[in-house]
Amino acid sequence: MKLYNTLSKRKEEFVPLEEGKVRMYVCGPTVYNFIHIGNARPMIVFDTVRRYLEYKGFDVNYVSNFTDVDDKIIKKAIEEGVTADEISKRYIAECKKDMEGMNVRPATTHPLATEEIGGMIEMIRTLIEKGCAYEKNGTVYFRTRKFKEYGKLSHKNLDDLRSGERSLLVTGEDEKEDPLDFVLWKPKKEGEPSWQSPWSDGRPGWHIECSEMSKKYLGEQIDIHAGGEDLVFPHHENEIAQSEAANGKEFAKYWMHNAFLNIDNRKMSKSLGNFRTVREISEQYDLQVLRFFMLSAHYRSPLNFSADLMEASKSGLTRIVNAADNLKFLMGNAKTEGMTAEEAEAYEKTQEYVRAFESAMEDDFNTADAAAAVFERVKYSNTTADAGSSKEFLQKLLDRLVSLTDVLGLIVDRKEEMLDGEIEKLIEERQAARKAKDFARADAIRDELLEKGIILKDTREGVQWKRA
């Protein structure tokens, strides 16, 4: 299996540190709002990498953090007049709902930065003892030049960085020994969450979080470290400097980065007003469609989000789901049990599609080609299975299809579940019916929703609903 390593800028054969096991860390979101569809890309991509590694028989320890202390969280808390903790807890819960919708499996561990401060302080202490960090007025900085390999991931050299140093100087940080030095610990400002430390009451810098959480849950050396390409510099470069300086070992063997997701060929940003959350998409589509869309391109290629591409993904996914449904239907009506010799031969042929699927995935996780192999496989079962097929043959065809779609994280059992948008539309219609005193219609809508597992509650603030 080959994967592209940002460190060497080459595709490399994957050899785990320990046979049969993979230790993998994926930088998670900062939780101050609903996640946007850009954040969803690394979640889906690396969940698929994990699923393929498991399909190959590896035991994967998958760690992904939530950054729950950050300027943006504090700003949002001040705006709403609540605590930072309330903001981060709320959006972690919302993020987990979105992950479930996208069929992104929970990590083995989802550490929270705020629960790991003690370990971060220890790591900073070690760095100071080793002469790799220093304190000035309550702030601790990493002494970047002390780490000779700085720049090895982003392929920048220290002198180039030095010539751009003016832009690196941030107000209030002019006490640094060198403009390249970065913050490990900073004193609190009035009203900010803070923790005690030997240097000041304050909070950790962002980069040290991941170095510490990765070490605590996966050990000093890991196989794969991943995230979006914007994290290569400075976040991952700084993580390497901290971890390798503190532990004296190579931190991660393979560094994987997904390219960005754009919208209608433009960068997604708040100022352009083209920012889309996963939650908004879920009102229009089953999030499986979003997942399939994300996997329709190679993870290292930029991907453009558009209504047309989502529609194409929707119909592609429907084709696969229909094939599975058809097999289930035929199975329910099959007249014979055991496979015939002819069927056994036909089944053998499906091995070809499995091989195509695997070789696409083994080539740096080419999910686009892997999905093409699934479509070929669908076409084959649509033409070979019919009312005369045996139950065993149909079951085997279905199992084989599911084993591949499972790797992509696609659920082919058709979901009858209603989308949030559909539910809300029906609730509005029910309100209108009540207003018009058409109680029969209002009750019929309530019953229809109940049948689909949606429970309505009339409250003073309006109608609330939940899934049973």
> Would you count residue 38 as binding ligand AMP (CB under 6 A)?
yes
Helix (H, G, I), strand (E, B) or coil at 136: strand
Using alpha carbons, select from 174, 191, 180, 179 the residue that is nearest to residue 136. 174
Token pair, residue 174, equals 């002019």
C-beta of 227: minimal distance to Zn ion in Å?
6
For 183, phi and psi rounded to 5 degrees? -80, 135
Residue from 151, 179, 204, 228 touching ligand AMP (CB under 6 A): that is 228
> Would you count residue 107 as binding ligand AMP (CB under 6 A)?
no
Q: Which is nearer to ligand AMP, 150 or 299 (CB)?
A: 299
CB 438 within 8 Å of CB 444: no
C-beta of 302: minimal distance to ligand AMP in Å?
9
Prior bond of 234 cis (ω within 30°):
yes
CB 209 within 8 Å of CB 113: yes
Residue from 7, 22, 26, 27 touching Zn ion (CB under 5 A): that is 27
C-beta of 11: minimal distance to ligand AMP in Å?
21
From the list ligand AMP, Zn ion, none, which binds 101 (C-beta under 5 to 8 Å, kind-based)? none
Q: Which is nearer to ligand AMP, 230 or 458 (CB)?
A: 230
Q: Which stretch binds ligand AMP (CB under 6 A): 9-17, 151-159, 256-264, 330-338?
A: 256-264
Using alpha carbons, select from 219, 217, 210, 216 the residue that is nearest to residue 241. 210
> Would you count residue 30 as binding ligand AMP (CB under 6 A)?
yes
Residue 324 to residues 212, 319, 348, 377, 400, Cα–Cα distance (Å): 45, 9, 19, 11, 10
C-beta of 90: minimal distance to ligand AMP in Å?
15
Please tell me the distance from the alpha carbon of residue 367 to that of residue 372, in angstroms, as a whole number. 8
C-beta of 5: minimal distance to Zn ion in Å?
17
Residue from 92, 168, 268, 309 touching ligand AMP (CB under 6 A): that is 268
C-beta of 54: minimal distance to ligand AMP in Å?
21
Q: Which is nearer to ligand AMP, 128 or 232 (CB)?
A: 232
Q: Which is nearer to ligand AMP, 137 or 265 (CB)?
A: 265
From the list ligand AMP, Zn ion, none, which binds 16 (C-beta under 5 to 8 Å, kind-based)? none
Expressed in percent and rounded to 5, the helix, strand and coil fractions of the chain are 50, 15, 30
> Would you count residue 29 as binding ligand AMP (CB under 6 A)?
yes
Q: Which stretch binds Zn ion (CB under 5 A): 22-30, 91-99, 363-371, 379-387?
A: 22-30
> Would you count residue 240 as binding Zn ion (CB under 5 A)?
no
Q: Which is nearer to Zn ion, 60 or 232 (CB)?
A: 232
Q: Which is nearer to Zn ion, 67 or 367 (CB)?
A: 67
**Burial of 345 from C-beta contacts in 10 A (0-12 / 13-18 / 19+):** exposed
CB 67 within 8 Å of CB 31: yes
Instruction: Return the residues of window 205-234 that contact Zn ion according to CB under 5 A.
Output: 210
> Would you count residue 211 as binding ligand AMP (CB under 6 A)?
no
C-beta of 210: minimal distance to Zn ion in Å?
3
Token pair, residue 155, equals 């392929």
Task: Using CB under 5 A, count the residues that bind Zn ion.
Answer: 2
Hunting for tokens 């939780």 — which residue is that?
31
Strand (E) or helix (H) holding 114: none
Residue 401: left if φ>0, alpha if ψ -120 to 50, beta else—which one? alpha
> Would you count residue 236 as binding ligand AMP (CB under 6 A)?
no
C-beta of 86: minimal distance to Zn ion in Å?
24
Residue from 5, 33, 39, 211 touching ligand AMP (CB under 6 A): that is 39
Please tell me the distance from the alpha carbon of residue 406 to that of residue 361, in angstroms, as a whole number. 13
**Burial of 397 from C-beta contacts in 10 A (0-12 / 13-18 / 19+):** buried
C-beta of 229: minimal distance to Zn ion in Å?
13
Please tell me the distance from the alpha carbon of residue 41 to that of residue 294, in angstroms, as a whole number. 6
From the list ligand AMP, Zn ion, none, which binds 230 (C-beta under 5 to 8 Å, kind-based)? ligand AMP
CB 28 within 8 Å of CB 64: yes
C-beta of 120: minimal distance to Zn ion in Å?
13
C-beta of 41: minimal distance to ligand AMP in Å?
4
Please tell me the distance from the alpha carbon of residue 380 to that of residue 284, in angstroms, as a whole number. 31
> Between helices 367-384 and 391-407, what is the axis angle to 10°?
170
Q: Which is nearer to Zn ion, 27 or 374 (CB)?
A: 27
The neighbouring-strand residues paired with 78 are none
> Nearest 5°: CA angle at 211, between 206 and 215?
145
Which residues of this chain interact with Zn ion, rule CB under 5 A? 27, 210
Which residues of this chain interact with ligand AMP, rule CB under 6 A? 27, 29-30, 38-39, 41-42, 227-228, 230-231, 258, 260-261, 268
